[in-house]
Structure 1
């Protein structure tokens, strides 16, 4: 699998994993989504917002029209609105990766961090980071869901592969 195809697959996995994560979250009472938790971000809702914020920041950089916002921005306080926005972002990520070529994937991109520092690195590292970052925080989300009584997320990449490949 070449570089562009790999990121197409990761975008599909991202949608699959987020669909399952949001499905499990939807079974919780609203109070559980806002309840204080021990993680990088203080609640399930805050964590879900952070993942969306980071995706929007990285995608805006990749698309050449950067947006800046604090990483703890709450885009949506309402879970259903957040879920709708997540689905739209996942679709945008899929559309973006479907248009990638190996030449684009390996080309450098210069961007400014949230702190304003300039960095240049290959897009494949940026894309790998974006998908890895989501996985990192979904791992925290899984623990928070266990604490809330919803059970763990079963979203390992191999489960996606088994589901997709039969």
Structure 2
């Protein structure tokens, strides 16, 4: 499971690089799917990862408004601020945690830690697919989605 998080983080960094070539207007242009534009879809990926890890660890989730994030640098700074905490949790992951229950909102929602971690992996990959479509619409070559040859054995 850890290697798929490392994969997602590599791909995320590559998307940040690629999106750095786009104007702020292109990043915020209305698009179909995702969070309606490239910038806020990237923000959504970062926030969802952080919030689910905080759900697992019992920490408060973030109070983030997309309107407060108007540039790619805003999103990258948030990612770099939160990344060490998320990475620390992922690196401490062990198979014994997989079936540990996560109960939210006084029992309204029940998951296992493993379900949440697998959801986070799939969630990011899903949104990267949306980013890939939008990149092609802009005439860009999307970030390479291959897991192979990334040094993530």
Question: Above 0.5 in TM-score?
Answer: yes
Write the distance in 2 (CA, Å) between the matches of 1:155 and 1:89. Answer: 24
CA contact (8 A) 1:28 1:150 kept: no
CA contact (8 A) 1:108 1:120 kept: yes
Say which of 73, 83, 104 aligns to 1:111: 104
Unaligned runs of 5+ residues in structure 1 are 1-5
Write the distance in 1 (CA, Å) between the matches of 2:61 and 2:77. Answer: 20
Write the distance in 1 (CA, Å) between the matches of 2:27 and 2:99. Answer: 39
Unaligned runs of 5+ residues in structure 2 are none
Number of aligned positions between the proteins: 152
149 and 92 in structure 1: CA distance in 2 versus 1, 3 angstrom threshold: farther
- Cα deviation, 1:41-65, whole Å, max 9, x if unaligned, reads 2110121121122112211101112
Alignment of 1:43-62 (within 5 A): 43-62=37-56
Match of 1:89 in 2: 82
117 and 45 in structure 1: CA distance in 2 versus 1, 3 angstrom threshold: farther
Match of 2:28 in 1: 34
Return the TM-score normalized by structure 2: 0.86
CA contact (8 A) 1:108 1:123 kept: yes
43 and 9 in structure 1: CA distance in 2 versus 1, 3 angstrom threshold: same
How much is the aligned-residue C-alpha RMSD, in angstroms? Answer: 2.2
Return the TM-score normalized by structure 1: 0.80
- Cα deviation, 1:46-105, whole Å, max 9, x if unaligned, reads 2112112211221110111232658xx415222112112223333332211111222222
